[in-house]
Structure 1
Amino acid sequence: MDDQVKILKYLVSAEKLAEEILSDRREIVLLDKRRNQNREALRNITKTGQRKCWLTVGSVLIKHDLEATKTLLVADQKQLDIDINKLRSDLKVKVNNLRDLEIQPPVPGLMLVPMSQKETRSLSSAGLFS
């Protein structure tokens, strides 16, 4: 009976973590789709020669100043980038935690981060990196 309880707890925790991973992946896809729509909107705004544009806020259409709309879209793009990057970094940790639960080694190269500009300059000045 005790073994069954342990197995059940293990399965519940693994399924819960797997569901969180799938949920995060779906959220990343939705946020990326929204980010692409914002990018398209910014591109279309720069092409137009008008001073005002129509903006949807929920289900309401508002005629808004073009420069203020650009500012809103750029701020939204920055926030979306932050949210997507946070979800992606959390996703890496969750995947490794799930693999730990499954008694598998971590995914090789999953936690790699790019070198900073300072590190790149240091290696270039030392002649180790071109």
Structure 2
Amino acid sequence: MAMSSGSDSMINTLRDTIVSMVRRDGPDLSARQLAVFLTCYLQDDAHTVRGLAAELNVSKPAITRALDRLQDLDLAWRTRDPMDGRSVLIRRTLKGKAYLRDLSAIVNEATAPREEEAAAPVRKVRGRRMEERLRRAG
């Protein structure tokens, strides 16, 4: 299956991001945990276990397990909804906000053009100019 260069670039950025997350000190999250974390931190809505399960199309127990890990890492907290005691709200934490900043920095670094990739078009132009000069000098 052939991938376009845009797809290649995106998948390589994803790989670079994940590798950086795994190599750094601190927790690395599973895909499900990361999906729950990012949903809670990037969307301003109040989040509930039920709502996250519906939005991510996974079971409530799967969300609960992901939240258990996030809570163990102090990246999110669960509290009872004061308006509806049956509902559990997900709260952001200071450590979670710092983790999001770190993750953003890792993604930005992974998406920054590599020096050799950025220099490649310049080398091509210089090469063409040299060829043109040689042709003229002939």
Report the TM-score range of the alignment, normalised by the length of the smaller protein: 0.3 to 0.5
The one of the two structures with greater contact order (alpha-carbon pairs below 8 A, sep at least 6) is 1
TM-score by length of 1: 0.35
TM-score by length of 2: 0.33
